[in-house]
Chain A
């Protein structure tokens, strides 16, 4: 069995996002890029399947800031090979374009399952799993919290609202969007990441095409942080002063006694 896990870099949301001078995108110059957290869930589930029934796990990414680190980390965690697709274009690739190029690349590969992260924080274009499934013409399921491999099929568990889950048996090849792996993503020790780096097992491959720009028929008018109007009243002072004020607020609503 071969499992392909596409991974991508996203801006670290803990940091401030600045806009570029045209206001048409975030300013990518000073942004710190990190691995999309749901891709780590996807890789973990792939590795769990590999451990249970044996599989070749391949990670694939487009050439993005600090993506080598993410790919080597995946190898250190137990992925068998890593592919970097180069030349697709600079800057932000929309999910639609990512999906189109990945689908072209995948059509020249053999695979039983593609496991993606359920979403990425920079999406406006929808989710990769469904788009890929639609383009490849294979069944897909997203918001998945467990994959049980069978023969010629997998049984996936999807989470609906409120914790209700449904299970479906799906023929392979298929695409799965991973919400949460059956266990928390494993830790890759720095020493193993270094080892992977010096072994240099990263294969660079020309992407099957270039980005052609945003979808027609959708024009960005404005990109902006949410209005400050409805924002919280900020409590000033150090921790003791803030604690004092919070207790006062709760007391004023009759929720605690002073």
Chain B
């Protein structure tokens, strides 16, 4: 059984994600515990290797077309990496890349997949993990003895400093022949335009989730936002329904926000939402379900109905 730990380096627009550094820190700890090496897998943008000092080895592939993320190409490269080092564990963030590659790599490399992991540590020669299930309503503690494991780990939970280290890892280029017979081709990468609002700059946010139940009801939240002079933000379902434009979305695939106060109405607190707002200075959540995970990160909570609460707030905050 191998003892190397492989971390997939995620980058977009030439910037390595914070989660990558968090996982490099965790990977370093586990590799040291098992006496293995920490291997960073870097696809596209090989010049980013200079930032991966925490690793012993950087296995890289060059090619501008890889930089934009192409699932089949990344999968072929990653499979090559895990097969050519003595890998035991692969760490990827629970991001698009992790959700896309983690399970296919596990299937092809015959490894046990663990998703939505929030804690991971070595226990002698074994691995102990905690995963979220049911959108964070339950946690599962797991003991992993499988010889090969692919973990997707939720970002934002570990210190990233441990992974930001100077060092001089060995640079090893992956044989480009690995990409010889792909059935897909990268076309383009597009960055959305801001559309006028910048919810990341607002001192406070009034944020609505599916509990708002309909576009017409947004008016109730808008009155509170207007009284505070701040914008509305929302969880993904509200955006997907077209009730508010995309730049208003908070979360994994939206904006990361850190206002002085985040007021959440009818938001359950799925991991993808928490990823975007858990570091707000003050979180006040309104949700009729007392076991909603949003209350795990909120400082204050209430289970009164948002349709009763919003008008009361508007009345008190308005002049």
Contact = CB atoms under 8 A, between A and B. Distances in A.
A155 B187 contact: yes
A96 interface: yes
Interface stretch (B31-39, B162-170, B171-179, B299-307): B299-307
Contacts of B183: 138-139, 170-171, 174
Given A164-B13, A243-B309, A169 B185 contact: yes
A143 B99 contact: yes
Q: Which of B96, B191, B268 has the most CB of A within 10 A?
A: B96
Contacts of A216: 112, 146
Given A163-B253, A170-B72, A249-B300, A232 B285 contact: yes
Contacts of B303: 234
Contact of A231 (B137, B138, B295): B295
Nearest to A242: B302
Interface residues of B, number: 102
Contact of B104 (A134, A169, A231, A238): A134
A53 interface: no
A13 B268 contact: yes
B284 A249 contact: yes
A10 to B, nearest CB: 8
B107 interface: yes
Contacts of B242: 184
Interface of B is mostly: mixed
Interface of B: 12-13, 17, 68-72, 95-97, 99-108, 112-116, 128, 131, 133-147, 150, 152, 182-192, 203-204, 228, 236, 240-242, 246-247, 249, 252-256, 260-261, 263, 268, 282-286, 289-291, 293, 295-305, 308-309, 312-313, 315-317
Q: Which 5 A-B pairs have the closest CB atoms?
A: A217-B146, A134-B107, A126-B103, A232-B301, A130-B103
23 contacts: A17-B137, A127-B99, A127-B100, A130-B100, A130-B107, A134-B108, A141-B100, A142-B99, A161-B12, A166-B188, A166-B189, A174-B184, A184-B241, A219-B144, A225-B139, A231-B298, A232-B285, A232-B301, A233-B301, A234-B301, A239-B305, A242-B304, A247-B313
